[in-house]
Structure 1
């Protein structure tokens, strides 16, 4: 049997192996990243830049495509590719007009690459760490770092425990799909549960607006329960098998 070289290995497999290398010992919150981590992270980002929908055997969908035979199809579905203690990898598919609400990634790194369609991503950071347990209604002083649109030709969107850790993802001009890596995976038992937020309007901020410095893009986020209009279903992943 001939040895399997990098040219014969699927890019999905190569991404998974690189993610395993990158996130086996990632920097924690407030820690400076090592040279090794930065080099591996750069290699992972380069691979994610290359991957396309065809590599995952994904066929771009249209707004007119018939929904699954369920009473109310979910606005978002997820294709699981693989998961280890270090990272999870999969594909999110958003219907036309769907959104993944503003949410966080506690202590996690992440990388998102659009496979087809277009998404608008708004990235936020908390300005202060709260010693209190998270609970609906709690206010978080935050800053809007960026709002940008991404397509399959865009570089990946990257988050870390300290930067762009909260984001909202909106499908723009039709259905869209993106490949997603999170490291480590969500795990409520290990303090990595997903929390949802709502951006307060100027009127809602009220007295809080007067108590903060008047810096552009500084905002207040209110923690909320998972919005009832958002839920995520599952779909089988059609692409190349990944083994780790």
Structure 2
């Protein structure tokens, strides 16, 4: 059975409109996602472009290489989950944003949970709606692809819409806040914002195998 079909089957069995059915099911999805390769999702051509990229906007054969915008390859979406791939050219940025399940105010404190470089192949990262850090951004150092599974998917009518953030310019906000009776220090304050004018994600064509639903 193709790898993406196995991943889809695991998602269908383990993810619901209310979130993961169980930690065991979520771990199964994670373990299968860890094994996904570019060839499994029809990214062979994009992988070849990466091999031809020298980081200076010039192909290794000497020709000029124009950078495409961020591309989203939609694979599947239902009430329980969505599957898709973000293809990011070098130096592109997906701005700071949240995901479904997080209550958003006009400004809120945030503390960095993880700030690191990730090199493929690497393990799957799970972002939970109420713990561990759900607001995040991506910056591509080289051409890269991110396989994204959301559970449940975005749905503005159900209050699960994407909100973008920036650091609040206010200087009089406290540096320490109390959360569940504990004082958390070294926080910054975020406020809702619009994404940059040059931020663009184009919907592309998924060239992998068709899923049996």
Category of TM-score, reference length = shorter chain: 0.7 to 0.9
TM-score with structure 2 length normalisation?
0.82
Question: Contact 2:18/2:80 (CA < 8 Å) preserved in 1?
Answer: no
Moved >6 Å (runs of 4+): none
Task: Say yes or no: does 1:101 pair with 2:95.
Answer: yes
Match of 1:207 in 2: 172
Q: Matches of 1:159 and 1:15 in 2, distance apart?
A: 18
Task: Say yes or no: does 1:82 pair with 2:76.
Answer: yes
Residue 20 (structure 1) aligned to one of 5, 9, 12:
12
Cα offset for 1:158?
A: 0.8
Match of 2:62 in 1: none
Question: Contact 1:94/1:177 (CA < 8 Å) preserved in 2?
Answer: yes
Match of 1:117 in 2: none
Match of 1:56 in 2: 41
> Pairwise CA RMSD of aligned residues?
2.3
Task: Say yes or no: does 1:145 pair with 2:108.
Answer: no
Q: Which has the higher strand share?
A: 1
Match of 1:227 in 2: 196
Residue 11 (structure 1) aligned to one of 3, 14, 17:
3
Q: Matches of 2:200 and 2:87 in 1, distance apart?
A: 12
TM-score with structure 1 length normalisation?
0.72
Figure out how many residues of one structure are paired with residues of the other and give that number.
194
Cα offset for 1:46?
A: 0.5
Question: Contact 2:175/2:187 (CA < 8 Å) preserved in 1?
Answer: no
Cα offset for 1:20?
A: 1.4
Unaligned runs of 5+ in 2: 60-64
Larger mean CA deviation between 179-188 and 204-213 belongs to 204-213
Unaligned runs of 5+ in 1: 1-8, 28-32, 109-128
Provide closer, same or farther for how the CA distance between residues 180 and 102 of structure 1 changes in structure 2, counting only shifts above 3 A: same
Task: Say yes or no: does 1:243 pair with 2:204.
Answer: no
